[in-house]
Structure 1
Amino acid sequence: MRNLFFILFILIFVSCKEDVLPKPKAYLSLKYPAKSYKKLHFERPYVFDVEKNATVKDSKNNWLTIKYPNLKATIDITYRPIKNNLKELLIESEKLVFKHTVKAEQIVSNDFINESEKVFGSIYEITGNAASQIQFHATDSTEHFIKGALYFYTQPNYDSILPAVDFVKKDIVRIMETLRWKD
C-alpha cells in the first residue's frame, strides 16, 4: 500500500511539468464564395445586379425576395410607383428604419446619388441586436420607389452575424450602384 501511494505521488508530480494556461480567444474562420453577379432576370420596372449564389423569388406587385440559404438571410425588396406620394413613401421608409431604435445601438445613414441614372437613395446600417441590420431605399423622385431590408432568420446576435452582414452589404451596395429604371 505504501509503494502504491509513493508511485501515485511521483506520477502526479512528474507528469505535470508545464503550467496550465487558458486557451486564447479564437476567431471564426468563415469562408464565403467569391462574388459574382448577374442581371436580375425578372421583368420589372427596374433592373440591378444580383449575386449569382443568391436565389431570387418572385412576388406580386413587382416585389422580390433575394435569398441567401447558407446564411439564413434574405433581402426583401418592395416596389411602389410614385403617385404624388413621394414624401409619404420616404417617411414610411424612415419609420421602418427607426422602428429598430429599441434594440439598435446605432443607426448610420449613407446617402446614395447617381444623377446620370436618376437613382437617389439612402442605405441605413443598424448596429446592435435589431431585427434588420441594413435597410435601404432608392427612387428617381418622379415615378419609381424601391425599399429593401436585410433579415436573418435567427435570433439577432450582432457580434455573431457581423461577418455575414458585411458579406451581404457588398451585394446591397452593388444593387444600388447597378439600379436602373425602365420606362
Structure 2
Amino acid sequence: MIIGCKDDVLPKPASQLRLDYPVAKYASFSNHCPIEFEINEDAVIKEDKNCEFSIHYPKMKATIYLTYKTVNNDIDNLLRDAQNLTYKLHTLKADEIIELPFINKEKRVFGTFYDVTGNAATNSLFYATDSIKHFVTGSVYFYAKPNYDSILPAESYVKNDMQHLMETIKWK
C-alpha cells in the first residue's frame, strides 16, 4: 500500500470586485431655466427640452433625469404625481423606501428624497419645490438589470451626487 501525504484541494474563495470612484468635485450649473444647482464635474449634463435635463455618468452607465415645472395653482397634483411615481412603480420590487424630508427655509426649497433599496428600477428619487412657483423632480436610472448588490457602489456614489444637487437648488 502506498500512502500519499497531500493536502486536500480547496477551491479559492469567491472574490469581490472593488470599485473606487474619485472624490466628487462640484460645479454650479445655470442656464436660461429658473433653477440653479451644483453637479459633479465628472458628469455630463444636457438639456433635453423645456428645462428637462439628463445628467450622464458614462463610466457608471447611469443617468439622473431632472424635470422642472412651473407651479400653476396645481401644487397638490404635482406633489401627488411625484409621490405616486415613487410608491406605485417601486413598491413591488423595493425592499424598503425611506423618505428623507428636506427643508431649506433660507432658499425656500422644500422636498423629499426617496432612498429605495432592493431591485427596483431606480434607487433614488426626489422632488423639490418652493410651493408657489417652482417644482423639480429627479430620478436616477442605471443601464443594467436591477441587481441591487451589484450596482450598490455606483448607486451610492450617484445617490450622494443627487442629494447634493437637491440640497444646492436655488430658484431664479
Query: TM-score, normalising length from structure 1?
Result: 0.89
2:40 paired with 1:51: yes
Q: Which residue of 2 aligns with 1:89?
A: 78
Please report how far the alpha carbon of residue 25 of structure 1 lies from its aligned counterpart in structure 2 after TM superposition: 3.7
Which one has a bigger Cα radius of gyration? 1
Between 1:126-135 and 1:18-27, the stretch displaced more is 18-27
Residue 181 of structure 1 is matched in structure 2 by 171
* 1:95-174 alignment, distance < 5 Å: 95-98=84-87, 99-174=89-164
User: Which residue number in structure 2 is paired with residue 77 of structure 1?
Assistant: 66
- The match for 2:57 among 68, 74, 89 is 68
CA RMSD of aligned residues (A): 1.5
Q: CA deviation at 1:176?
A: 1.5
Gaps of 5+ in 2: none
Percent identical residues: 45
Q: Which residue identity lines up with residue 88 of structure 1 in the other structure? A: N
Provide the secondary structure at the position in 2 that maps to 1:84.
Answer: coil
**Size of the alignment, in residue pairs?**
171
Q: Which SS does the other structure have where 2:50 is aligned? A: helix
Which deviations, in whole Å up to 9, do the C-alpha atoms of 1:160-183 show, x marking residues without a partner? Answer: 00111110111111111211000x
Alignment pair present for 1:30 and 2:19: yes
Q: Which residue type is aligned with residue 79 of structure 2?
A: L
Tell me which protein shows more strand as a share of its residues. Answer: 2
User: What one-letter code is carried by the residue in structure 1 that aligns with 2:99?
Assistant: S
Query: SS of 2:91's equivalent?
Result: helix
Measured in 2, the distance between the counterparts of 1:41 and 1:110 equals: 26
The structure with the largest helix share of the pair is 1
Runs of 4 or more, structure 1, over 3 Å off, are none
CA contact (8 A) 1:42 1:58 kept: no
Q: By how many angstroms is 1:81 displaced?
A: 0.3
